[in-house]
A and B are shown apart, each in its own frame.
Chain A
Amino acid sequence: AQSVTQLDSQVPVFEEAPVELRCNYSSSVSVYLFWYVQYPNQGLQLLLKYLSGSTLVKGINGFEAEFNKSQTSFHLRKPSVHISDTAEYFCAVSQVGGNEKLTFGTGTRLTIIP
Chain B
Amino acid sequence: GAVVSQHPSRVICKSGTSVKIECRSLDFQATTMFWYRQFPKQSLMLMATSNEGSKATYEQGVEKDKFLINHASLTLSTLTVTSAHPEDSSFYICSAKDRTEETQYFGPGTRLLVL
Contacts and interface: CB of A to CB of B under 8 A. Distances in A.
B33 to A, nearest CB: 10
Contacts of B2: 46
Interface stretch (A11-19, A21-29, A77-85, A104-112): A104-112
A100 B103 CA distance: 9
B111 A102 contact: no
Interface string A43-81: 111100101000000000000000000000000000000
B8 interface: no
Select the residue from A43, A100, A101 with max chain B CB neighbours within 10 A.
Answer: A43
Interface residues of A, number: 21
A100 B32 contact: yes
Nearest to B94: A43
A90 B44 contact: yes
Contacts of A46: 2, 103, 105-106
Given A99-B49, A106-B43, 10 more contacts: A36-B106, A41-B91, A42-B108, A42-B109, A43-B4, A94-B102, A100-B97, A102-B46, A102-B95, A106-B42
Interface of B: 2, 4, 6, 32, 34, 42-44, 46, 49, 91, 93, 95, 97, 102-109, 111
